[in-house]
Amino acid sequence: MEGRLLLKNCAVFRADGRVRNGMAVVVEGNTIRRVAPDAQVPVLPGDWEVACRGRLVAPGLVDCHSHLVNGQLLPPSGHFLLMPPAERLERMLRVARLLADEDVEALTRFAAARALRDGVTLVVEHLSCQDVAGGLAAQARAAEGLGLRLLTSHATHSLDGAQQAETWLEANADFARERREHPLVRGAIGFHASYTCDHALLTRVARLSRQLDVPTVFHLAESEDDLTTTYSRHSQRVVPRLDALGLLNPRAIAAYARTLDSSEAGRLEESGTFVALAPRGLRTLERGADPMEAVLARIHMVGLGTGGHGTLQDELLAALVGALRISRAGRLPDVDGSLAHLLVNGPAELCTRLFGLPSGNVEEGSIADLVVYDSVPPSDPETGYSPHLLGQMTRSPVAWTVVDGRVCVREGQLLGFDYVDLARGATEALHRVWTRARLGS
């Protein structure tokens, strides 16, 4: 975009819950160049002026673990979570084998558009498909076209044999190698979970991640099946096993963490592993610590992920319920701070870790991943503090979404794409997949 993007008369979000009203935000290139009182920032020739009219401007949201494609191929989350873990896994693998590259691109494009309209500017994706090279390339095309920031990987496993796993892993590594410096779409090395991967595969994953200096994405302590299968085969729980294989480190992005105890949460904190929490799928263990309590009490690098189902707003509501439960027991004194960290601060640190740019604040020098909400926030005239700011962010419609300085959504509408056309393309892709499933059954 030529010239500056200028957000006029806006309320600027601060992670401490304070609001600065009557501000202007100047974006040049992919960076926030100036944040100042509105009267001090005139509109210059060539500027793209956005009349915010007091609306809230905040950093873009981060979906720290998603299944943009595979989430559309599975039942709604409530039904899916009630399935036995073995049935969920079998269904996921069977459907993944039916995906063609054109299906991956169409489904990714629709999911990416939906994310942008929800104010999500970065998605950490975990793809399952047969043609890894083609599938990851299709996702990159879709994300770049729409303007979504994306880190994508393949959920490689050992269930189809060592040779197939090696083929998938090499294709994943080639994509990550080619994309190491891309400004918008990067690659990570992915594997499914401890209980679906043998030692040889996980050792190779750890080695490739170190050699390429790229992240790893995986499911951590995904379910009771993960825990019991890992222990029966390797005489270790999930966290100690992955730790021994060198997979817990600052490059790791571990999703779910549903069967953790407090000592394992402590080890994740020590290792610098990022945990993508999905509170809607968490259940308190019959014995041992509540996994959500273990994560919130011990781990700093933590954020929310959808797993491809629902929205971050849904996950934040589930996190609120869990945090209040822990707080009432006297073990979580700062509920608001914990929720702000899950939605904003932790994900911002992840974005900075991945792309090497200041993130998560509307301030000079930060990357221009921004959202304008259709909401005018109240604030105390003395302190500027708004006790309901986080709630407003999650309940208010998104008016504008800006990623890397590019306007992707303007007054609720995608730029350059018709949302209904993208939805129709995704529906046609689903029809093709299920036709193949019927013919193959």
Cβ atoms of residues 143 and 150 within 8 Å: yes
158: left (phi over 0), alpha (psi -120 to 50) or beta: alpha
Q: How far apart are CA 124 and CA 188, in angstroms?
A: 9
- Of the ranges 253-262, 284-293, 380-389, 399-408, the best mean pLDDT one: 399-408
pLDDT of residue 269: 94
Q: How far is CA 144 from the centre of its chain?
A: 17
Handedness of CA 219, 143, 57, 32 (dihedral sign): positive
Q: How far apart are CA 179 and CA 165, in angstroms?
A: 21
**Closest by Cα among 99, 6, 20, 105 to 425:** 105
- Average pLDDT rounded to a whole number, residues 2-10: 92
pLDDT in tens, 271-287: 999 999 988 876 543 34
134: left (phi over 0), alpha (psi -120 to 50) or beta: alpha
Q: How large is the angle between the packed helices 312-328 and 291-298, nearest 10 degrees?
A: 90
Cβ atoms of residues 18 and 11 within 8 Å: no
Backbone angles phi, psi at 399, to 5 degrees: -95, -50
pLDDT in tens, 237-272: 999 999 999 999 999 999 998 888 888 989 999 999
Q: CA 67, 78, 76 angle in degrees (round to 5)?
A: 50
Q: How far apart are CA 65 and CA 52, in angstroms?
A: 31
pLDDT in tens, 194-231: 999 999 999 999 999 999 999 999 999 888 888 999 99
- Helices (H) then strands (E): counts for the chain: 15, 18
Q: Is 328 exposed, middle or buried (0-12, 13-18, 19+ CB in 10 A)?
A: exposed
**CA dist 153 → 65, 271, 429, 434 (Å):** 11, 21, 21, 24
- Average pLDDT rounded to a whole number, residues 423-441: 89
Q: How far apart are CA 243 and CA 31, in angstroms?
A: 37
Residue 141, CB half-sphere, CA atoms under 13 Å: how many? 13
pLDDT in tens, 138-187: 999 999 999 999 999 999 999 999 999 999 999 999 999 999 999 999 99
pLDDT in tens, 17-64: 678 999 999 999 999 999 999 999 999 999 999 999 999 999 999 999
pLDDT of residue 285: 39
Q: Which residue has the higher pLDDT, 439 or 194?
A: 194
Cβ atoms of residues 226 and 255 within 8 Å: no
pLDDT of residue 390: 78
pLDDT of residue 377: 87
Q: How large is the angle between the packed helices 419-440 and 85-96, nearest 10 degrees?
A: 100
Cβ atoms of residues 65 and 305 within 8 Å: yes
16: left (phi over 0), alpha (psi -120 to 50) or beta: alpha
pLDDT of residue 340: 84
| pLDDT value at 417 more than 60 | yes
Backbone angles phi, psi at 338, to 5 degrees: -65, -40
pLDDT in tens, 119-137: 999 999 999 999 999 999 9
pLDDT of residue 91: 76
Q: Which amino acid, one-letter code, is at 81?
A: L
Q: How far apart are CA 337 and CA 356, in angstroms?
A: 25
Q: Which residue has the higher pLDDT, 16 or 274?
A: 274
Q: How far apart are CA 421 and CA 146, in angstroms?
A: 13
Q: How far apart are CA 274 and CA 219, in angstroms?
A: 12
Span of 7-11, 284-288, 346-350, 377-381 with lowest mean pLDDT: 284-288
Ordered structural domains, the chain, with CATH: 5-60+361-410 (2.30.40.10), 61-355 (3.20.20.140)
Average pLDDT, the chain: 90
pLDDT of residue 297: 75
pLDDT of residue 284: 43
Name the percent of the chain lying above pLDDT 70: 91
Per DSSP, 137 falls in state: H
Sequential DSSP letters for 48-70: EEEE-TT-EEEEPEEEEEE-TTG
Token duo for residue 420:
């209904």
The pLDDT confidence band at residue 288, using thresholds 50, 70 and 90, is: very low
